Amino acid sequence: MADNFHDILYEIINGLQDGILGTLKIQKLGKAESEETLRKDPEPMTTLARRRAERKKDEVQHKKKEPKIIQRIVLCCAWNGGISLMSILLFNHLLLPVVQLIIAGIFGGSGSNSVWNWIGPILSWTFSALWILPIFVLSKVVNSLWYQDIADAAYFQYRGKPKQFNISSLIADISFSVLLQALFLIQGTLFMFLPIPAVGQIIGHIHMALLYSLYAFEYKWLNMGWEVHKRLSHIENCWPYFFGFGLPMAVLTSLHPSVVISGCIFSILFPVFIISANEASEPKRICSFPLKVFAPVVALSNAIFRRATVGSTNISSGQSKPGVPPTGKPRKRVGISQYSQECS
Q: Is residue 261 part of a domain?
A: yes
Q: What is the pLDDT of residue 251?
A: 93
Q: Is residue 154 part of a domain?
A: yes
Q: Is residue 27 part of a domain?
A: no
CB 236 within 8 A of CB 214: no
Q: Is residue 153 part of a domain?
A: yes
Residue 15's SS3 state is helix
Q: Is residue 271 part of a domain?
A: yes
Q: Is residue 198 part of a domain?
A: yes
Q: What is the pLDDT of residue 239?
A: 95
Q: How many domains does the chain have?
A: 1
Q: What is the pLDDT of residue 252?
A: 92
CB 48 within 8 A of CB 240: no
The answer to whether the Cα torsion of 212, 213, 218, 220 is positive or negative is positive
Q: What is the pLDDT of residue 111?
A: 67
| C-alpha distances in Å from residue 32, one per residue of 3, 29, 43, 154, 238 | 40, 5, 23, 11, 32
Q: What is the pLDDT of residue 278?
A: 87
| C-alpha distances in Å from residue 12, one per residue of 185, 239, 255 | 21, 9, 21
Q: Is residue 234 part of a domain?
A: yes
Q: Report d(CA 75, CA 143) in Å as an integer.
A: 9
- Return the number of other C-beta atoms located less than 10 Å from residue 15's C-beta: 25
Q: What is the pLDDT of residue 50?
A: 56
* Cα torsion through 305, 229, 219, 60, rounded to 10: -100
Q: What is the pLDDT of residue 241?
A: 95
Domain that holds residue 170: 143-315+336-344
In this structure, what are the phi and psi dihedrals at residue 318, rounded to the nearest 5 degrees? 70, 30
Q: Is residue 192 part of a domain?
A: yes
Q: What is the pLDDT along the chain (344 residues), one digit of tens a residue?
A: 446 788 889 999 999 999 888 767 666 665 555 444 444 444 445 555 555 655 655 444 444 444 577 788 888 888 888 788 888 889 988 998 998 888 888 877 666 778 888 888 888 888 888 888 787 778 778 888 888 888 888 888 777 777 777 788 878 888 888 899 999 999 998 988 888 878 888 999 999 999 999 999 999 998 888 989 999 999 999 999 999 999 999 999 988 888 888 888 898 889 889 989 988 888 878 888 889 999 999 999 999 888 877 766 555 555 444 444 444 444 444 344 444 445 44
